[in-house]
């Protein structure tokens, strides 16, 4: 079933008395090359890392299943998590011929990811793939990253391949000292490398969004590359550093750590090799790790 044929999309929506919902940021793909290429990019990297081991992918927001179909052709097992309950019967219909997919009706951000992996994907090497709604991109990526590791430090996931708004992709892929560099960028760099793969123009969707999208892949480290005394502290430091982008690092961290005297924070920043007037976008993930450890030691 061609789920990228605009006539088919409209027919299926009519059959099940449903349609795209702005509240869920739904835009369905109508160019079959796009889901095909996303699935290929996801699986080929997965295969290169894991060889012939049993493969699985978690898809977030399958919509009517255009990308899901392609993932079913590549991976041994697909878990598709869809928040919109009206699309569950649609997916049962569109994915009926694929026996290696399980559809779960749930809000991904409220899902017990560790439980899902242990119950459904034990013994599989896992990647994540999604066409993410623009309004919820950062929370989902952060939820994936912060739950990406087992207790022993190894990664649950091989990679995270997602389609996002192009403007967001530029932020995700930025490097220190660039204006687009921010908290999400530094956080991604702590967990892995990110690469922009290709752009997707608005005419590839129904309804057509007002902006161009981009597909990016986060290639997660097998084990920790950076050691910190507290990941919770690291996330707080990174978030605090970019809380007020126009302010200096010292002023931003002073707002985020009001319990620490400002001159003490200034001393810590200088011990890490920076002037207090430096801004957060100048710091690499290694710099944030050092800064985080210094603040953690002070507070403990």
**What are the domain boundaries of the chain?**
6-220, 231-299
Higher pLDDT, 37 or 153: 37
CATH number of the domain at 6-220, please? 3.40.50.150
The pTM for the full model equals 0.93
The residue with tokens 């801004």 is: 279
Cα–Cα distance for residue pair 155/159, rounded to 1 Å:
10
State the pLDDT at residue 19. Answer: 61
Beta bridge partners of residue 102, listed in sequence order: 79
Cα–Cα distance for residue pair 102/81, rounded to 1 Å:
9
Question: Which residues make Cβ contacts (< 8 Å) with residue 105, sequence separation at least 6?
Answer: 82, 83, 85, 88
pLDDT digits (tens, 9 = 90+) for 245-264: 779 999 999 999 999 999 99
pLDDT digits (tens, 9 = 90+) for 48-96: 999 999 999 999 999 999 999 999 999 999 999 999 999 999 999 999 9
Cα–Cα distance for residue pair 274/286, rounded to 1 Å:
13
**To the nearest whole percent, how much of the chain has pLDDT over 70?**
97
Integer-rounded Cα Rg, in Å, for the chain is 21
Question: Which residues make Cβ contacts (< 8 Å) with residue 267, sequence separation at least 6?
Answer: none
Residue 232 has pLDDT above 80, yes or no: yes
3-state DSSP helix/strand/coil % of the chain, to nearest 5: 45, 20, 35
Taking Cα atoms as reference points, which of 277, 280, 292 lies closest to residue 180?
280
Indicate if the alpha-carbon torsion angle 279, 280, 286, 289 is positive or negative.
positive
Cα–Cα distance for residue pair 155/75, rounded to 1 Å:
19
**pLDDT band at residue 5 using 50, 70 and 90 as cut-offs:** confident
Cα–Cα distance for residue pair 255/192, rounded to 1 Å:
29
CB 294 within 8 A of CB 228: no
User: Which homologous superfamily does the CATH classification assign to the domain defined by 231-299?
Assistant: rRNA adenine dimethylase, C-terminal domain (1.10.8.100)
pLDDT digits (tens, 9 = 90+) for 84-140: 999 999 999 999 999 999 999 999 999 999 999 999 999 999 999 999 877 889 999
């Amino acid at each position: 079933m061609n789920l990228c044929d605009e006539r088919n999309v409209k027919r299926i929506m009519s059959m099940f008395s449903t349609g795209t919902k702005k509240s869920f940021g739904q835009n369905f793909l109508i160019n079959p090359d796009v889901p095909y290429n996303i699935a290929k990019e996801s699986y080929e990297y997965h295969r290169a890392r894991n060889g012939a081991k049993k493969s699985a992918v978690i898809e977030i927001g399958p919509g009517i299943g255009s990308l899901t179909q392609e993932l079913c052709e590549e991976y041994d097992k697909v878990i598709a998590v869809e928040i919109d309950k009206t699309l569950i019967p649609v997916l049962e219909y569109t994915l009926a011929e694929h026996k290696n997919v399980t559809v779960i009706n749930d809000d991904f951000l409220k899902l017990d990811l560790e439980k899902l992996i242990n119950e459904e994907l034990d013994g599989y090497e896992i990647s994540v793939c999604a066409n993410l709604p623009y309004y919820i991109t950062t929370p989902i990526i952060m939820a994936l990253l912060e739950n990406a590791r087992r207790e022993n430090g190894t990664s649950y996931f091989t990679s995270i391949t997602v389609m996002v708004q192009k403007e967001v992709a530029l932020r995700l892929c930025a490097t220190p000292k660039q204006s687009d560099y921010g908290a999400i960028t530094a956080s991604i760099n702590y967990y892995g490398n990110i690469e922009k793969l290709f752009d997707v123009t608005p005419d590839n969707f129904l309804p057509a969004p007002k902006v161009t999208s981009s597909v990016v892949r986060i290639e997660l480290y097998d084990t920790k590359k950076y050691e910190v005394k507290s990941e919770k502290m690291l996330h707080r430091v990174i978030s605090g550093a970019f809380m007020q982008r126009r302010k200096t690092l010292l002023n931003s961290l002073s707002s985020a750590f009001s319990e620490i005297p400002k001159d003490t924070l200034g001393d810590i920043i200088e011990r890490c090799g920076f002037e207090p007037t430096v801004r957060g976008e100048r710091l690499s993930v290694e710099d944030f790790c050092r800064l985080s450890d210094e603040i953690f030691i002070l507070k403990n």
